[in-house]
Protein backbone atom coordinates (compact mmCIF):
# COMPACT_ATOMS: atom_id res chain seq x y z
CA UNK A 1 0.00 0.00 0.00
CA UNK A 2 1.12 3.55 -0.70
CA UNK A 3 -0.74 6.39 1.02
CA UNK A 4 0.14 9.71 -0.49
CA UNK A 5 -1.40 11.94 2.17
CA UNK A 6 0.13 10.85 5.45
CA UNK A 7 0.14 7.45 7.10
CA UNK A 8 -1.96 5.44 9.48
CA UNK A 9 -0.63 2.87 11.97
CA UNK A 10 -0.83 -0.62 10.51
CA UNK A 11 -2.56 -3.64 12.01
CA UNK A 12 -3.97 -6.99 10.96
CA UNK A 13 -7.55 -8.13 11.49
CA UNK A 14 -7.70 -11.09 13.81
CA UNK A 15 -4.87 -9.62 15.90
CA UNK A 16 -5.85 -6.02 16.55
CA UNK A 17 -8.49 -3.61 15.37
CA UNK A 18 -7.84 -1.23 12.51
CA UNK A 19 -5.21 1.41 13.10
CA UNK A 20 -7.47 3.79 11.18
CA UNK A 21 -9.42 4.45 14.38
CA UNK A 22 -6.72 7.05 14.95
CA UNK A 23 -8.47 9.14 12.28
CA UNK A 24 -10.87 10.57 14.83
CA UNK A 25 -8.38 13.22 15.91
CA UNK A 26 -7.47 14.23 12.36
CA UNK A 27 -9.03 15.60 9.21
CA UNK A 28 -9.90 12.90 6.69
CA UNK A 29 -9.17 14.21 3.22
CA UNK A 30 -8.02 11.02 1.60
CA UNK A 31 -7.30 7.68 3.17
CA UNK A 32 -5.40 7.20 6.36
CA UNK A 33 -4.48 10.15 8.54
CA UNK A 34 -4.09 13.55 6.92
CA UNK A 35 -2.70 16.56 8.74
CA UNK A 36 -4.99 19.57 8.80
CA UNK A 37 -2.47 21.60 6.80
CA UNK A 38 -3.05 19.23 3.86
CA UNK A 39 -6.81 19.81 3.78
CA UNK A 40 -6.59 22.91 1.57
CA UNK A 41 -4.64 21.10 -1.15
CA UNK A 42 -7.64 19.09 -2.42
CA UNK A 43 -10.84 20.56 -3.82
CA UNK A 44 -13.66 19.18 -1.62
CA UNK A 45 -16.07 19.44 -4.56
CA UNK A 46 -13.96 17.17 -6.76
CA UNK A 47 -15.40 13.81 -7.71
CA UNK A 48 -14.01 10.74 -5.99
CA UNK A 49 -13.40 7.70 -8.16
CA UNK A 50 -11.33 4.51 -8.20
CA UNK A 51 -9.30 2.64 -10.79
CA UNK A 52 -8.02 -0.92 -10.71
CA UNK A 53 -5.12 -1.89 -12.97
CA UNK A 54 -5.20 -5.68 -13.25
CA UNK A 55 -1.74 -5.96 -14.82
CA UNK A 56 -0.13 -3.82 -12.12
CA UNK A 57 -2.33 -5.35 -9.37
CA UNK A 58 -3.02 -1.86 -8.04
CA UNK A 59 -6.14 -0.04 -6.83
CA UNK A 60 -5.84 3.75 -7.05
CA UNK A 61 -8.11 6.20 -5.27
CA UNK A 62 -8.65 9.64 -6.81
CA UNK A 63 -10.26 12.89 -5.80
CA UNK A 64 -10.68 14.77 -9.03
CA UNK A 65 -7.33 14.46 -10.78
CA UNK A 66 -5.40 14.03 -7.53
CA UNK A 67 -4.15 10.59 -6.51
CA UNK A 68 -5.13 10.04 -2.88
CA UNK A 69 -3.76 6.54 -2.34
CA UNK A 70 -2.58 3.38 -4.08
CA UNK A 71 -3.00 -0.16 -2.78
CA UNK A 72 -1.77 -3.61 -3.69
CA UNK A 73 -4.60 -5.98 -4.61
CA UNK A 74 -5.03 -9.57 -5.68
CA UNK A 75 -6.98 -9.97 -8.90
CA UNK A 76 -8.84 -12.82 -10.55
CA UNK A 77 -6.91 -15.85 -11.75
CA UNK A 78 -7.13 -16.91 -15.40
CA UNK A 79 -10.01 -19.29 -14.71
CA UNK A 80 -11.97 -16.61 -12.78
CA UNK A 81 -10.92 -13.24 -14.23
CA UNK A 82 -11.90 -9.91 -12.74
CA UNK A 83 -14.28 -8.17 -15.16
CA UNK A 84 -13.01 -5.05 -16.90
CA UNK A 85 -14.94 -1.90 -17.74
CA UNK A 86 -16.75 0.97 -16.05
CA UNK A 87 -18.68 0.14 -12.89
CA UNK A 88 -20.46 1.97 -10.10
CA UNK A 89 -20.29 1.26 -6.40
CA UNK A 90 -23.76 1.50 -4.89
CA UNK A 91 -23.61 -0.83 -1.88
CA UNK A 92 -21.20 -1.58 0.95
CA UNK A 93 -21.75 -4.39 3.45
CA UNK A 94 -19.92 -4.25 6.76
CA UNK A 95 -19.33 -7.45 8.73
CA UNK A 96 -20.74 -9.68 5.99
CA UNK A 97 -21.48 -13.35 6.39
CA UNK A 98 -19.95 -15.74 3.86
CA UNK A 99 -21.87 -18.47 2.08
CA UNK A 100 -19.71 -20.79 -0.07
CA UNK A 101 -20.72 -20.39 -3.71
CA UNK A 102 -21.80 -23.35 -5.78
CA UNK A 103 -18.37 -23.66 -7.34
CA UNK A 104 -15.85 -26.47 -7.50
CA UNK A 105 -13.24 -24.49 -5.57
CA UNK A 106 -15.67 -23.97 -2.66
CA UNK A 107 -16.68 -27.64 -2.31
CA UNK A 108 -16.51 -28.75 1.31
CA UNK A 109 -16.13 -25.23 2.69
CA UNK A 110 -18.44 -24.17 5.52
CA UNK A 111 -20.48 -20.96 5.81
CA UNK A 112 -18.87 -18.35 8.05
CA UNK A 113 -20.84 -15.89 10.19
CA UNK A 114 -20.02 -12.17 10.39
CA UNK A 115 -16.82 -11.53 12.29
CA UNK A 116 -15.60 -15.13 12.21
CA UNK A 117 -11.83 -15.50 12.00
CA UNK A 118 -12.22 -17.88 9.05
CA UNK A 119 -14.61 -15.57 7.16
CA UNK A 120 -12.69 -14.83 3.92
CA UNK A 121 -14.53 -11.51 3.41
CA UNK A 122 -13.17 -10.10 6.67
CA UNK A 123 -14.67 -6.70 7.61
CA UNK A 124 -16.25 -5.30 4.46
CA UNK A 125 -17.50 -5.97 0.92
CA UNK A 126 -17.61 -3.09 -1.58
CA UNK A 127 -19.79 -4.21 -4.49
CA UNK A 128 -18.92 -2.95 -7.97
CA UNK A 129 -20.67 -5.52 -10.19
CA UNK A 130 -23.53 -7.13 -8.35
CA UNK A 131 -24.00 -9.74 -7.15
CA UNK A 132 -20.71 -11.54 -7.74
CA UNK A 133 -17.90 -8.99 -7.84
CA UNK A 134 -16.67 -6.77 -5.05
CA UNK A 135 -13.64 -5.42 -3.24
CA UNK A 136 -13.03 -7.16 0.07
CA UNK A 137 -10.41 -7.89 2.70
CA UNK A 138 -8.62 -11.21 2.79
CA UNK A 139 -6.99 -13.62 5.22
CA UNK A 140 -4.48 -14.40 2.47
CA UNK A 141 -2.51 -11.15 2.44
CA UNK A 142 0.38 -13.02 0.82
CA UNK A 143 -1.79 -13.20 -2.33
CA UNK A 144 -1.74 -9.42 -2.79
CA UNK A 145 0.03 -8.49 -6.00
CA UNK A 146 -0.92 -11.80 -7.57
CA UNK A 147 -3.72 -13.24 -9.72
CA UNK A 148 -5.16 -15.45 -7.00
CA UNK A 149 -8.79 -14.44 -6.43
CA UNK A 150 -12.00 -15.86 -7.86
CA UNK A 151 -12.78 -12.62 -9.70
CA UNK A 152 -13.02 -10.13 -6.85
CA UNK A 153 -10.39 -7.60 -5.81
CA UNK A 154 -8.75 -8.65 -2.56
CA UNK A 155 -7.09 -6.16 -0.24
CA UNK A 156 -5.34 -6.00 3.09
CA UNK A 157 -8.31 -5.81 5.53
CA UNK A 158 -7.08 -2.49 6.93
CA UNK A 159 -6.91 -1.03 3.43
CA UNK A 160 -10.39 -2.29 2.56
CA UNK A 161 -11.62 -0.48 5.68
CA UNK A 162 -10.01 2.75 4.53
CA UNK A 163 -11.39 2.51 1.00
CA UNK A 164 -14.92 1.67 2.20
CA UNK A 165 -14.88 4.57 4.61
CA UNK A 166 -13.64 6.93 1.91
CA UNK A 167 -16.28 5.74 -0.56
CA UNK A 168 -19.01 6.30 2.03
CA UNK A 169 -17.73 9.80 2.79
CA UNK A 170 -17.75 10.78 -0.88
CA UNK A 171 -20.84 8.77 -1.77
CA UNK A 172 -23.12 10.80 0.49
CA UNK A 173 -23.23 8.37 3.42
CA UNK A 174 -20.63 9.52 5.95
CA UNK A 175 -20.70 8.13 9.48
CA UNK A 176 -19.23 9.37 12.75
CA UNK A 177 -16.54 7.68 14.81
CA UNK A 178 -19.08 5.99 17.10
CA UNK A 179 -20.64 4.23 14.11
CA UNK A 180 -17.29 2.83 12.97
CA UNK A 181 -16.37 1.92 16.54
CA UNK A 182 -19.49 -0.23 16.69
CA UNK A 183 -18.73 -1.85 13.34
CA UNK A 184 -15.26 -2.77 14.57
CA UNK A 185 -16.22 -3.98 18.04
CA UNK A 186 -19.55 -5.70 17.36
CA UNK A 187 -18.42 -7.91 14.52
CA UNK A 188 -21.54 -10.09 14.59
CA UNK A 189 -23.68 -7.15 13.41
CA UNK A 190 -24.00 -6.83 9.63
CA UNK A 191 -24.64 -3.30 8.35
CA UNK A 192 -25.51 -2.42 4.76
CA UNK A 193 -24.92 1.09 3.39
CA UNK A 194 -26.49 2.29 0.14
CA UNK A 195 -24.70 5.28 -1.37
CA UNK A 196 -26.62 8.40 -2.34
CA UNK A 197 -24.00 9.13 -5.00
CA UNK A 198 -22.47 6.06 -6.69
CA UNK A 199 -18.68 6.02 -6.88
CA UNK A 200 -17.15 5.01 -10.20
CA UNK A 201 -14.63 2.19 -10.50
CA UNK A 202 -12.72 1.68 -13.76
CA UNK A 203 -11.09 -1.73 -14.15
CA UNK A 204 -8.46 -2.09 -16.89
CA UNK A 205 -6.29 -4.98 -18.10
The dihedral through the CA atoms of 61, 33, 155, 89 has a sign that is: negative
pLDDT in tens, 62-101: 999 999 999 999 999 999 999 999 999 999 999 999 988 8
Q: Is CATH 2.115.10.20 correct for 2-204? A: no
What pLDDT does 33 receive? 33
In this prediction, residues 97-124 reach a mean pLDDT of 90
pLDDT digits (tens, 9 = 90+) for 27-37: 333 454 332 22
Task: Determine the Cα–Cα distance for residues 70 and 140; give it in Å rounded to an integer.
Answer: 19
81: CB partners within 8 A, 6+ apart: 75, 151
Domain boundaries along the sequence of the chain: 2-204
Of 2, 8, 44, 50, the C-alpha closest to 26 is 8
Between strands 75-76 and 2-3, the pairing is: unpaired
* Rounded Cα gap, residues 76 and 34, in angstroms: 32
Amino acid sequence: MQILHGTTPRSRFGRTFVGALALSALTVVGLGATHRSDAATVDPDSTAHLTADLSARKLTVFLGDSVVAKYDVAVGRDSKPTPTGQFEIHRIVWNPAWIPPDEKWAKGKKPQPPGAAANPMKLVKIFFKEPDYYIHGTNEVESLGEAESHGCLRMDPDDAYRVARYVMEHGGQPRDENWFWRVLHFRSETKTVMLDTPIELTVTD
